[in-house]
């Protein structure tokens, strides 16, 4: 028992199992060793450790890291309550009593705060790269479908025609916001909590600036009480994962709809679909459904840990051990979902002609016709009413915009002339859009060029 000097009995085995976080915080092993090496170097610089002792400790720590990687040493969850005690115990086995000097001036409180900060910074970098790779895939698909017409929706009702490229680029924009959140979080993790001790610093002349510099931070934190109990960055990370998963879930929902026989718009690769245990003909979009389903779990992780934090008095409380399971689960789930979604989209095929004829016959160009009336001096509210009457008449006559003629339009309003019929041409409808951010093919192409320069 590393920290049991005042106790006469060993911790109950059931209590050890209940309180152990080792099976989760073993993910922090490399960060724990990284922080310990910096701490040992600092202790040597202030003559708490001799250079020989520091080198002995550092060599032992590096050996533990190698042993864990090649699986020649594994931390036993029946013996240790966390990764810190497991590493220190193994260090004792390797180098003897010198290992006991490593913890000088350090608490598990500032130790775990440091480990988590380093881990989250690294994970942000990994996630940012995954987001960029997915954005690139969406850009490549968009460039192939500048002229692929699909219906745009509001309220899941057909609204106005757009291109598939325009639709996919909307997700590139979403992903950029996701990436920005992780970049902000990563850049904001610029202060090192190491040296804060349990809550009130140390009477030893610890050089916090040195350890901060060695670990890649701009400076040490300014208040030890806050430093050891701060988990805001984990909540920020969990929130960022939640928003990112929400975006993937929205795309998953569309993929699921698009892959139905009723839509017949997307064909997913066999590599990312599954069959039915009963119906031989089935090809199910299970990966998209799983991403949609796992989003709820990631949401739950954020709610779970924010609920844990809401009533904790300063400073450290053991409740904070509950930060690790939601943190690791959300990170791994989001990372896997990004990678699977990227592969699923990159291997998918789209039915280019699916909506070409169908859109020609519907009323999705009604707003274009109303805009034509506005250009003739009609107030928009009146133009809206006139076009609504046109739609009602055509429907009652069993017609649509594709079969309408000038007489049909003039029977509702004499203001219509031959030029109004040009508003009903689906093929040129996107080119008529002139505002920035619209699905005008040239604007879409410009946006693809913008993102290509930014991401490649």
What are the structural domain ranges in the chain? 13-104, 109-144+164-206+221-351, 357-455
In the chain, the largest separation of any two C-alpha atoms, in whole Å, equals: 100
Whether pLDDT at 9 is above 90: no
Nearest CA to 247 out of 331, 301, 328, 178 is that of: 178
Nearest CA to 208 out of 95, 1, 45, 443 is that of: 45
Whether pLDDT at 8 is above 70: no
Q: What is the mean pLDDT of the chain?
A: 95
By the 8 A CB rule, do 16 and 96 touch? no
Question: For 366-423, how does the pLDDT look when each residue is reduced to its tens digit (9 = 90+)?
Answer: 999 999 999 999 999 999 999 999 999 999 999 999 899 999 999 999 999 999 999 9
* CATH architecture of the domain with range 109-144+164-206+221-351: Up-down Bundle (1.20)
pLDDT confidence band for 7 (50 / 70 / 90): low
Instruction: Put residue 438 in one of left, alpha, beta given phi > 0 → left and psi -120 to 50 → alpha.
Output: beta
pTM of the model: 0.94
Rounded Cα distance between 239 and 318, Å, is 22
Q: What pLDDT was estimated at residue 358?
A: 84
Q: What pLDDT was estimated at residue 174?
A: 98
Whether pLDDT at 428 is above 90: no
Rounded Cα distance between 359 and 380, Å, is 24
Whether pLDDT at 4 is above 80: no
Q: What pLDDT was estimated at residue 204?
A: 98
Whether pLDDT at 356 is above 80: yes
Rounded Cα distance between 432 and 162, Å, is 12
Whether pLDDT at 228 is above 80: yes
Question: For 187-225, how does the pLDDT look when each residue is reduced to its tens digit (9 = 90+)?
Answer: 999 999 999 999 999 999 999 999 999 999 999 999 999
In the chain, the percentage of residues whose pLDDT exceeds 70 is 98
Q: Exactly one of 155, 261, 311, 396 is catalytic; which is it?
A: 155
Rounded Cα distance between 14 and 21, Å, is 13
Whether pLDDT at 3 is above 60: no
CATH of 13-104 among 1.10.275.10, 3.30.360.10, 1.25.10.10, 1.25.40.10: 1.10.275.10
Concatenated DSSP letters of 249-277: HHHHHHHHHHTSTTT--EE--GGG-B--S
Whether 419 is catalytic is no
Residue 227, φ and ψ in degrees, nearest 5: -60, -45
Taking only Cα atoms into account, the Rg of the chain, rounded to an integer number of angstroms, comes to 30
Tokens of 129: 């790269």
Question: For 75-95, how does the pLDDT look when each residue is reduced to its tens digit (9 = 90+)?
Answer: 988 888 899 999 999 999 999
pLDDT confidence band for 357 (50 / 70 / 90): confident
Cis (ω within 30 of 0) for the bond into 315? yes
Rounded Cα distance between 299 and 242, Å, is 6
Q: What pLDDT was estimated at residue 362?
A: 85
Q: What pLDDT was estimated at residue 311?
A: 95
Fold for domain 357-455?
Ribonucleotide Reductase Protein R1; domain 1 (1.10.40)
C-alpha count within 13 angstroms, C-beta hemisphere, residue 297? 16
DSSP secondary-structure letter at 153?
E
Count CB atoms within 10 A of the CB of residue 351.
Answer: 14
Whether pLDDT at 65 is above 60: yes
Rounded Cα distance between 404 and 369, Å, is 13
Q: Exactly one of 19, 59, 219, 276 is catalytic; which is it?
A: 276
| Helix residue spans in 310-404 (DSSP H) | 324-346, 356-360, 366-375, 380-396
Tokens of 113: 């705060």
Q: What pLDDT was estimated at residue 183?
A: 98
By the 8 A CB rule, do 268 and 255 touch? yes
Q: What pLDDT was estimated at residue 180?
A: 98
Whether pLDDT at 5 is above 70: no
Nearest CA to 185 out of 27, 30, 39, 331 is that of: 331
Rounded Cα distance between 369 and 364, Å, is 10
Whether 276 is catalytic is yes
Mean pLDDT of 271-289: 89
pLDDT confidence band for 12 (50 / 70 / 90): confident
Whether pLDDT at 158 is above 70: yes
By the 8 A CB rule, do 235 and 310 touch? no
Nearest CA to 230 out of 104, 114, 106, 84 is that of: 114
Whether pLDDT at 451 is above 90: yes
Containing H/E element for 191?
Answer: strand 191-192
């Amino acid at each position: 028992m590393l920290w049991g000097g005042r106790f006469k009995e060993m911790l109950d085995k059931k209590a050890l199992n209940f309180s152990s976080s080792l099976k989760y915080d073993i993910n922090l092993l490399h960060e724990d060793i990284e922080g310990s090496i910096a701490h040992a170097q600092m202790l040597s610089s202030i003559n708490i450790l001799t250079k020989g002792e520091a080198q002995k400790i550092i060599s032992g720590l590096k050996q533990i890291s190698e042993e864990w990687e090649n699986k020649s040493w594994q931390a036993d969850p029946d013996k240790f309550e966390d990764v810190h005690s497991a590493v220190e115990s193994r260090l004792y086995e390797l180098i003897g009593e010198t290992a006991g000097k490593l913890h000088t001036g350090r608490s598990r409180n500032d130790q775990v705060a440091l480990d988590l900060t380093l881990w989250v910074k690294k994970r942000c970098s990994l996630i940012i790269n995954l987001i960029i790779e997915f954005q690139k895939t969406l850009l490549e698909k968009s460039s192939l479908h500048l002229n692929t017409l699909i219906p745009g929706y509001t309220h899941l009702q057909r609204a106005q025609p757009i291109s598939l490229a325009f639709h996919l680029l909307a997700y590139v924009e979403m992903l950029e916001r996701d990436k920005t959140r992780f970049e902000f979080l990563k850049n904001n993790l610029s202060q090192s909590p190491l040296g804060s001790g349990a809550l009130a610093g140390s009477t030893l002349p610890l050089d916090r600036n040195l350890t901060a510099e060695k670990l890649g931070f701009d400076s040490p934190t300014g208040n030890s009480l806050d430093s050891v109990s701060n988990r805001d960055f984990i909540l920020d990370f969990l929130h960022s994962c939640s928003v990112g998963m929400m975006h993937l879930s929205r795309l998953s929902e569309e993929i699921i709809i698009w892959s139905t026989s009723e839509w017949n718009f997307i064909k997913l690769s066999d590599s990312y679909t599954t069959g039915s245990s009963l119906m031989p003909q089935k090809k199910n979009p299970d990966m998209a459904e799983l991403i949609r389903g796992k989003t709820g779990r990631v949401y739950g992780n954020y709610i779970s840990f924010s609920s844990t934090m809401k009533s904790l008095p300063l400073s450290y409380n053991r409740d904070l051990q509950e930060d690790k399971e939601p943190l690791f689960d959300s990170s791994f789930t989001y990372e896997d979902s990004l990678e699977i979604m990227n592969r699923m989209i990159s291997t998918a095929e789209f039915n280019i002609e699916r909506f070409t004829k169908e859109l020609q016959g519907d009323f999705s160009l009604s707003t274009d016709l109303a805009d034509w009336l506005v250009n003739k001096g009609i107030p928009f509210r009146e133009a809206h009413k006139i076009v609504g009457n046109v739609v009602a008449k055509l429907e009652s006559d069993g017609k649509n915009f594709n079969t309408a003629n000038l007489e049909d339009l003039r029977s509702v309003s004499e203001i219509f002339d031959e030029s109004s019929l040009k508003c009903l041409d689906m093929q040129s409808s996107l080119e008529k859009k002139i505002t920035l951010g619209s699905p005008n093919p040239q604007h879409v192409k410009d946006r693809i060029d913008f993102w290509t320069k930014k991401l490649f």
